[in-house]
Chains A and B, each alone.
Chain A
Amino acid sequence: MQIIKMVFSNPRYLLLACALFSSMFVGLLILSEFIFLEPYVISHLPPGTELGFALITILSFLSALVIPMNIYRINILKSSKQKMGGGIFGSFVGAIAGACSCGPVGFAVISTFGSVGATATAFLTNYETPIRIIAIGILVVSYFTTVRSLGMECRLDSRG
């Protein structure tokens, strides 16, 4: 908790987290057809889609938490950029799982890549929920790894 306070006491990281959460949350809700922009801006939560909504919320929250913490680590501690990989990868995997299905993105992939695109779309659609759960798992692991290493590095930094 102290690490979170330390990172997000800087308004730049708080702003980044808010921007990441809102863009990812709204983007995924649009792709997953919880929000429509045309012909009217409208949101709805149809019965049977509660789990998908919950996974999108968790995924967006964790991405907004982990990515700014990793950027803080790079900026403040001059740590390796490679250590950011887990957070970015988790967010990316979680996002693409919901991007396909029968919406315009899936159709564009199928139209562009033919049978290979259809296979990829089918895979991402069939395993959307497990892929999102795995992405959340990656982000949770990435969070604890980041908190632990930030704690160690900050102690070392304060001793130095």
Chain B
Amino acid sequence: MAVKWILVGLVVIAVIVSAAITIFPQDSNLDPTRQHGDISTAFGSPILGSPDAPVTIVEFGDYQCHQCYNWFHNTKPAITRDYIDTGKVNLIFVDLAILGNDSRIAAQASHCANDQEKYWEYHDHLYNSQLPTIDGGWASKDNLIGFASDLGLDVDLFKSCLESNKYSGRVLTNTNEGKSNGVAGTPGFFIVNSEETSDLISGAQPFIVFKHILDDMI
């Protein structure tokens, strides 16, 4: 009888491990313990900027969100210039892909680009290519593969990654992480240092807001 239960237990463990491997495939860039304040950023982007920076901006965003586009073009350049490039702050992007079907596939594509160590180049290319229509085709699978080609990625490898849906679970996990932290719109930001996490900063807020909070927390 005991042997039977041990066998059942082993089967259950095997199923759970298989499911985990399927949902969260092996990724050399992945740190499953990565945490910023109460937020798990394990399945988010690689770190932009110095990993040793004392402050981290965690951005929850959607590639089809026009306000994320506004933040990317109007606020992020000044943050990059004054804080990220100077090593004071780093940034992690976490998918909150909710606006449409193409949001999810675009987020998956960014992780496929990460397989070839071009996450941030691909991320920037998506926001530079965004058109103001949700599911209007600018982030279709064909266009996403085209973007990979523009950046000189191995297109066959990228295509097989995208078509396998290997990162669908990762995008879903990130989206749920945003929701569980109370992010109810994109972009949403938390600013975290070793002692505290800011309140949620909701929307494409101007640079002066971030400057004020960052200067307080550095």
Contact = CB atoms under 8 A, between A and B. Distances in A.
B98 A110 contact: yes
B194 interface: no
Contacts of A121: 99, 134
Nearest to B204: A33
Contacts of A104: 184-185, 202
Given A110-B98, A125-B66, A126-B136, A40 B74 contact: no
Contacts of B62: 102
A47 B74 contact: yes
A102 B186 contact: yes
Report the interface size class on chain A. Answer: 20 to 34
Interface in B162-217: 184-187, 198-199, 201-206, 208-209, 212-213
B135 interface: yes
A36 B209 contact: yes
Report the interface size class on chain B. Answer: 20 to 34
A46 B133 CA distance: 19
A103 B70 contact: no
B122 to A, nearest CB: 20
Contact of B67 (A44, A103, A126): A103
A27 B169 CA distance: 37
Contacts of A6: none
A44 B186 CA distance: 18
B99 A33 contact: no
A2 interface: no
Interface string B94-105: 000011100000
A38 interface: yes
Given A33-B203, A36-B203, A42-B209, 14 more contacts: A33-B70, A40-B209, A46-B74, A46-B206, A102-B62, A102-B68, A106-B185, A107-B98, A122-B99, A125-B66, A125-B132, A125-B134, A126-B132, A126-B133
13 contacts: A36-B202, A36-B205, A38-B201, A38-B202, A44-B206, A102-B68, A102-B99, A103-B203, A104-B184, A104-B185, A106-B99, A118-B98, A118-B100
